[in-house]
Structures are given as structure tokens and as C-alpha cells.
Amino acid sequence: MKRTKKIAGVVTALAMLPFMAFAQGPSASTSVHLSIWTGTVSSVSGNTFTLAANNGATYTVDASAAKTHRRFGAIMQVADLQPGDSVVVKGMADGSNIKAQVIRDTSLQAKNGVFSGKVAAINGSSFTVQSGARGSQTVNTDSATVFKKNGQAAQLSDVVVGSQVRVTGVWDKANNNISAKFVNVVVRMARINISGSLSSVNGNSLTVSASNGTTYTVDASNARIVKKFGGKISLSDLNPGDSLKINGRHEIGSVSVMAGLVRDTSITK
């Protein structure tokens, strides 16, 4: 009976060895171990990235089979990782190489953030917006980004320096950039009165050199065209060099004007 108990005790001890070894972590006799690392992404190449861990070591992380999550658990892609992002990695390590099982990017928010501000600069498919809440942010767009202008379909070219925009997308707080899903250009219309000289007429479009030195393109398709004292005329009666007074509306900062009234003060009769 004593011999049986002794053998059972040896078997139990042997069965516990793997758990005891894992509990010792990296200092265990086996070189391959499961662990968790926190640190910063140094570089990304395909499904692999370099991790500068908080323990002072540098690791090469294979993320090809890993489950990847943003800060609060939303699913993300390895391609969403950026240098400078803070990450938590769980996986199997062999020396300085980690085969990741789970990756959490704590720099990426779980839900789409919303940012409003003025466009300060444009660089290709990206632009910089000065937001009131989070300062300067770089907005990155791609073929999947949806653009609107006051709620109507638009495109990247509608974003100009000085535009007010509202951007919805995934915010990377470590790098101050946004992967934009939606960009809405918020246009404020204002009344404008122009006095100047008619440079040219092209169909319903007038080019007017204003007295303030600005050249405006005026859409007169829906405008009332009158002589100096109010008699109705047509666009064909206007001639380059005529003095015009125009009332209309335009986007603040824009030189394109939707005219409501065009008065040719050079035509008196």
C-alpha cells in the first residue's frame, strides 16, 4: 500500500512540472514560453512588427495568426498598427521572436471618433485639421472614405485649406492621426455684393474683376438681369467692359458666386 502511494506521488509531481516551468516564465528551462508583453511598435512590415517592450528588450512579432483588437476590444487589422502605438501582446516567445496569439492596440479607440475643425494643410490624400478638442490631427483618406459637402455627395477635391470639416474615423492618439471613414465639408453660405467690371461672358457664367481686386466667377443662370435703372435685359446684352453690380451668395472664402441680381450700370436705356 505504501509503495502504491509513493508511486502515485511521483506521478503527480511529474504531471505538475510543465505548470511549474510556465510559472517561472522566461527563466524556465524551456526556451519557448507563453507570456504577455507591453510596449511600443517600432516598425511594421506586412504581418510582422518590431516591439520595443517595456522590459527593455526588442522583439520581432509574427502577427499573421493573431487576433487583433483596438483599445476597448473592437476588431482591427495588423495593417492598422502604426509606429509609436502602445500595444499588449500575448503569445509564444522563442528568444527575441514572438508568435502572437492576441494583440491589443491601446492607442486605437474602439469606436469611430468625431473631429471638427478647420483644414490647415493638404498633402495628397491626407490633410491636417486643427480641431478644438484635440489640436492638430492628420486625416488619412483612401478609396473607401465617403465625402459629403453639406450632406451632398462630394470628393477629396472639395476639401480646401480653410474649409470647415467634420471627420468620422478611427483615431490613433499616439500619432495624432485619423483613418477617415466619413468627411463632411461644412459650407456656410453668405450674402455678397460685388461692384466691378465684366471681363467675359461664357454662357451663363460671368467673369468679373471686382473693385476690391478679386476676380469672381458668377453663375447668373438663375439671376435677374437688369439695366442701371431696372429695366429687364438678357445676358446677351452684357458686354466685356460693362460696369456691374451683383447681389448673390457664396461660400465663405470662395470666389464662386451664385447671383440673384445682376445690374449693368453701363446700360441706361
Give the number of other CB atoms < 10 A from CB of residue 209: 16
Nearest Cα to Cα of residue 45 among 60, 58, 56, 57: 60
Sorted by where each begins, the domain ranges of the chain are 33-107, 113-186, 189-264
CATH code for the structural domain at 113-186: 2.40.50.140
pLDDT of residue 165: 93
Query: Where does 112-175 show beta strands of DSSP type E?
Result: 113-123, 126-131, 135-140, 146-149, 152-153, 164-172
Q: How far is the C-alpha of 7 from the C-alpha of 162, rounded, in Å?
A: 82
**Fold (CATH) for 189-264:** OB fold (Dihydrolipoamide Acetyltransferase, E2P) (2.40.50)
**Fold (CATH) for 33-107:** OB fold (Dihydrolipoamide Acetyltransferase, E2P) (2.40.50)
pLDDT of residue 152: 87
**In order along the chain (269 residues), what is the average pLDDT of each group of 10 residues?**
43 33 37 87 93 94 92 81 91 93 82 82 94 87 92 91 88 84 88 96 96 95 94 94 96 88 94
pLDDT of residue 3: 45
Q: Is 222 exposed, middle or buried (0-12, 13-18, 19+ CB in 10 A)?
A: exposed
Same fold, 33-107 and 113-186: yes
Backbone φ, ψ for residue 139 (5° rounding): -100, 120
Backbone φ, ψ for residue 68 (5° rounding): -115, 135
User: pTM of this prediction?
Assistant: 0.50
